[in-house]
Amino acid sequence: MKGRWIKITEAENIPLREGRPVKLGEVEIAIFNLNGRFLTIENACPHKGGPLCDGIVTGSAVVCPLHGRHFDLETGMPVRASEPACLTVFPTRVENGIVMVNIEAGHRAMDSAAA
């Protein structure tokens, strides 16, 4: 995989089924803990910029706390097909208890579908 893996934080800092925001340069990401599987998306909801890190997790999706838009954490795609915008997802892994994110390998499902 292209890009560099950046060490973010100890895995236990992200509680089960919750998200936490992290600022990396200009990008704010939200990292979620899905029963030990960690997934990362850009933090701002494409609708009105709501902090997705604060949303309730349902299955593998998150619900924006402001207006209830649902996004799949694995693909960044909106759960309801009527929503046009999707989110960038970032490859995430845990190594020796540290959550690592590859910020440069972030991608959007819709862009790749269009390409």
Which parts of this chain interact with another protein (CB under 8 A)?
4-9, 12-18, 20-25, 27, 48-51, 54-59, 63, 65-66, 68, 95, 98, 100, 103
DSSP element (H, E) containing 111: helix 109-114
Sign of the dihedral through C-alpha 72, 12, 28, 113: negative
CB of 85 to another protein, least distance (A): 18
Tell me whether residue 55 or residue 89 sits nearer to another protein (CB atom).
55
Under 8 Å CB-to-CB from 16, ≥6 apart: which residues?
A: 33, 35
Tell me whether residue 59 or residue 107 sits nearer to another protein (CB atom).
59
Do strands 92-95 and 98-102 pair parallel, antiparallel, or not at all (unpaired)? antiparallel
Tell me whether residue 78 or residue 115 sits nearer to another protein (CB atom).
78
